[in-house]
Chain A
Amino acid sequence: MLEYRLFTMATRVSLFVTCLVDQFFPKIGLGMVEVLERLGYQIDFPEAQTCCGQPAFNSGFRGEARQVGRHFLSVFRDAEAIVCPSGSCAAMVRRHYAELFHKDPEALAAVRVLGERVWEFSEFLVRVAGREEVGACWEGVVTYHDSCHSLRELGLAEEPRRLLRAVRGLELREMDLAEECCGFGGTFSVKFHDVSGSMLGAKIESIRRTGASAVVSTDASCLMQIRGGLSRAGLPVRTLHVAEVLAAR
């Protein structure tokens, strides 16, 4: 628990918004800013940031992933705490960089330091800031989709749910397939788009059965996949990132 207490003293957090949120879903980034400022944090956005390198790493292109990973390490080398609206990207830095850079002692040293400073957004709020109630208000029934990497690589099942349950007016209604993959999987979603689409179909059916008006998750990539399917099926269910819900008041 020592490391958590250490970081509760951090007053300045660096945002890593991820390439996807930057280009497609900036409202998620704004939501994080809103919530973190509400809790009294000073926000820093290093403008040279781009991507963590995961798309290349997961596609087998480790050389390209290393180039982009090195860029990430240099952009965030002075950050005290890095908060990121994606369990997948946080897990990439925390868990996979060590393997990616195992032959590069210099990068590895930076990875050891930064790996302990990268937090997924809901993880940061609950484990580091020690907050579950952040003064949010959202009227309606939502269901929560566990992002595979938040759940299985970072062990985050309770954190986002506790945050959601503390939102005024919000009812969290669990779906039966909450922990099942939505089928995104990076380039898997185009290389095996039909398998991915079939997985998405089951997820959407599960969401629909809850009768919730919105599905909430910790990863924009899952939400992009799910919303793509909802939009194709013409279903009036919204997709929201945890940060967007917590920013609402």
Chain B
Amino acid sequence: MSVAFHQRIQYALLDERLQQAVYAATGRLRDKRRGSIVPGQLPDYQELRTHAHHIKKHTMENLDYYLEVLARRVEERGGRVAWCRDAGEVQEVIGRLARERGIRLAVKSKSMTSEEVHLNEALERSGVEAVETDLGEFIIQLAGERPYHIVAPAMHKTRQQVADLFEAKLGVGRVEEIPRQTMIARVVLRKKFLEAGMGISGANFLVAESGAVVIVENEGNARLATSSPRIHVAVAGVEKVIPRAADLAVFLPLLGRSATGQPLTSYTSFLSGPRRAGELDGPDEFCLILVDNGRTRILADRGKRETLYCIRCGACLNTCPVYRRIGGYSYPGVYSGPIGAILTPQVLGLSHEPELPFASSLCGACAEVCPVKIDIPRILLELRGEVKKQEARDRRWGPEKLGFLVWAWLMRHPRLFELAGLAAQAMLSGPGDGRWIRSLPGPLKAWTASRDFPPPAARSFRQLWRRRVRTP
């Protein structure tokens, strides 16, 4: 039992304003998604999901091949490819690229992978200022926080909080109107875009056959960040590769709708290397950073491999009744919600937060909305099994293990099970008038902390059945 994890959850549950803000914001995204995939809007939604799942499956099972093709194409177009095993290597490569070119300022478009490898902090240590240019990321960077949600990183911030933040950090007057706040960010960021020597982006898809980096966004900041500075660095997990541009006909309609209910996002950019002779726009240099950081370990695990199919749409967060209550910061690691609950233990190790896979009612709402059909509840169950196996190997036998040992023995001995039932009946009779029990000691204390507990039946079904058989 991790105290810190439970404390973070408590903290979120007790913050009424946060509860309302996150519940409402996720609810809006969820409803938009729902409205955008109805048969009238996208008649072959289910077929697209199945197809997307199969494309991802095929690509992951042939990942070595597609990555090599991708790297060749990127290099043919004048780009460079760096293969990074872990966060440290990503930080080192980008740090060196900046140092060699004397770059002191980098603009960034939204990238969960760069969050995962803690790029901003590392760049800062090597004397490079990295400025987030996605509005939500800009806000949380000012606040010194991490993304609250994969798609909407500042979902938990109210406009009043943003007003306070801008006033304190940007030295502007207090402004609570969202359009005016946006204009303030725009003015600050425009200057950064023009001064920056490096543009850092993530990637939604990497097209193997053409070497293109595909980025979807709504603010236009990614397009500016990848074309205005003289070097563009794209940071992407190796699982982002897809075989063909034609596959985007499957993924793009699914991604926009699942994330924000948009048939297509406002901007979809296909970036293929540096500016070529005769072209007006684009960077002088392009570097694609392919990040492993635990992904090939996940790939090696047949049962949980489909974790890598994720396209980071955030639909599972918006529908998850647990995420919608405990919020993004209760989760350990940068990825929150159901996908975070299966990704984090596999990347950072089970012992990082052993309780995480258990923080789910296994309701399956996440799997139902997943555009690439990742069976998240099944993977959670596998992780639970692994946590308990690990505990047994370490000889950490808690009361839960002992309880289940006794339970399993009783369940194989029906007579004793019945006797145990009679004993429980004597102990838990309650007020005796059929009313439910308000307070119980021991392991059931946690049950009665949140609701009443039923008194055991005066006669079990098997007793009633026997009586019925005797007197038909």
Contacts and interface: CB of A to CB of B under 8 A. Distances in A.
Interface in B451-472: 451-454, 456-457, 459-466, 468
Interface size class of A (residues with CB under 8 A): 35 or more
Tell me what chain B mostly uses at the interface: helix, strand, loop, or mixed: helix
Contacts of A184: 361
Contacts of A189: 361, 447, 450
A194 B13 contact: yes
Interface in B368-394: 368, 378, 381, 384-389
Interface string B291-323: 000000000000000000000000000000110
A147 to B, nearest CB: 10
Interface in A118-175: 148-149, 152-153
B9 A59 contact: no
Query: Dominant SS at the A interface?
Result: helix
B360 interface: yes
Contacts of A9: none
A215 to B, nearest CB: 14
B52 to A, nearest CB: 19
A153 B363 CA distance: 9
Contacts of A24: 454, 456-457
B24 interface: no
Contacts of A236: none
Interface size for chain B: under 10, 10 to 19, 20 to 34, or 35 or more residues? Answer: 35 or more
A57 B385 CA distance: 8
Given A99-B378, A185-B361, A193-B446, A51 B411 contact: yes
A181 interface: yes
A64 B443 contact: no
Nearest to B303: A99
Interface of B: 9-10, 13, 321-322, 325-326, 355, 357-365, 367-368, 378, 381, 384-389, 400-401, 404-405, 407-408, 410-412, 414, 417, 421, 424, 435-436, 438, 443-444, 446-447, 449-454, 456-457, 459-466, 468
Q: What are the 5 closest A-B residue pairs judged by CB atoms, nearest first?
A: A185-B361, A197-B450, A228-B451, A60-B384, A181-B363
Interface of A: 17, 19, 21-26, 29-30, 33, 45, 47-51, 53, 55-62, 64-65, 67-68, 71, 96, 99, 148-149, 152-153, 179-181, 183-200, 202, 224-225, 227-229, 231-232
